[in-house]
Amino acid sequence: MKRVVITGATSMLGVALIEECLRNGIEVIAIARRGSKNLYRLPQSDHVKLFECDLDEMKDFFPPAHPSGASPQPPEGASLRADVFYHFGWGWTGRDADGNDLRLDPELQALNIQYTLDAVRLAKKFGCRKFLFAGSQAEYGSTDQPLNRDTPIKPTMEYGVAKYAAGRLAESLCRKLEIDFVHLRIVSTYGANDGANTLISYLVRSYLENQRPQLTGGDQLWDYLYADDAARCFRLLGESDRARGVYVIGSGVARPLKEYIEIIHRLTGSTVPLIFGEKPYSKNQVMFLQADISDLRRDVGFEPTISFEEGINRIISARRATN
């Protein structure tokens, strides 16, 4: 790969992938939402071209020769070209002003399906040979077996339904447009740019401030992959001519959530007591989550290299550096 396009460029995984590409001499066209509060996260490099473009604008966007935002279609050959397109852009994953989970809104989630198809057509405009779509473990719902491409699809929320539908329809459109397609079903990733309300961020923040978070029993078996490892996996899949279809992205190892929490407590040096079981499990709590990464090992030789302890230490260092 010489140049890639990344939507959702200011997300944790978007930034990690940009940094991974730069380390490997790959130029990046970064597409971020207009006025994103996270633009500061993007690496400052002559090899990163930024375009601000909302999801609902992608259908009318054409890659100009220079980064100046959305533009009308220029003459043939006047646009930037790219090899691979990574679609991390996805709307409505938080909560509204009343605290309602927007991932459960069927009409809003359905919009993401159309935006994904718009992204496929944008990939064609860029001349990309491959399209990688960021799906989710939510497509599977609850299971007691490691997840792979053959695991039955049984989503329990509208977000998972929309991710699955977007992936299937994007694959069909890619076939029509003669673009290779890869569906990334991402399990649980974490990193320094993770959302403030994710479990890892909440725990690190609480323990560094010596506050005691409310915890469930911690009996869930969970698979965590550090963002930099995930980004390397994405790059390998983008570069490989062999990679096709669905891959479940994770570490391949599941540990009790209680162990992860104990590690964070120890590494932050917190003195608050560890008390498990104060918070009840949610109604649809997933108790087992583990990726089967045998396909990744076989097709691109992927193996995680960053331990959970090292990943947490990186997050702690980044947080202290900004305080």
User: Which residues make Cβ contacts (< 8 Å) with residue 248, sequence separation at least 6?
Assistant: 137, 147, 148, 149, 151, 185, 187, 291, 292, 293, 295
Question: How much of the chain is helix, strand and coil, in % rounded to 5?
Answer: 40, 15, 45
pLDDT (0 to 100) of residue 79? 64
Contact 190, 7 (CB under 8 A): no
Contact 84, 238 (CB under 8 A): yes
Burial of 236 (0-12, 13-18, 19+ CB in 10 A): middle
Rounded to whole angstroms, how far apart are CA atoms 318 and 85? 29
Contact 41, 17 (CB under 8 A): no
User: Which residues make Cβ contacts (< 8 Å) with residue 23, sequence separation at least 6?
Assistant: none
Rounded to whole angstroms, how far apart are CA atoms 134 and 167? 8
**Tokens describing residue 230:** 């995930």
User: Which residues make Cβ contacts (< 8 Å) with residue 127, sequence separation at least 6?
Assistant: 81, 82
Contact 37, 62 (CB under 8 A): no
pLDDT (0 to 100) of residue 144? 92
pLDDT (0 to 100) of residue 74? 41
What ranges in the chain are assigned the alpha helix state H? 12-23, 106-126, 158-177, 199-208, 227-239, 257-268, 294-300, 308-322
31 strand-pairing partners: 7, 51
Q: Which amino acid makes up residue 159? A: Y
Rounded to whole angstroms, how far apart are CA atoms 279 and 271? 20
Residue 77 falls in which region: left (phi positive, over 0), alpha (psi -120 to 50) or beta = left
**Tokens describing residue 249:** 């992205």
Handedness of CA 50, 53, 59, 65 (dihedral sign): negative
Q: What is the pLDDT along the chain (323 residues), one digit of tens a residue?
A: 899 999 999 999 999 999 999 999 999 999 999 999 999 999 999 999 999 999 999 999 976 654 444 444 444 444 689 999 999 999 999 999 999 999 999 999 999 999 999 999 999 999 999 999 999 999 999 999 999 999 999 999 999 999 999 999 999 999 999 999 999 999 999 999 998 889 999 999 999 999 999 999 999 999 999 999 999 999 999 999 999 999 999 999 999 999 999 999 999 999 999 999 999 998 878 899 999 999 999 999 999 999 999 999 999 999 988 87
Contact 63, 80 (CB under 8 A): yes
What is the pTM for the complete model shown?
0.93
Rounded to whole angstroms, how far apart are CA atoms 72 and 61? 7
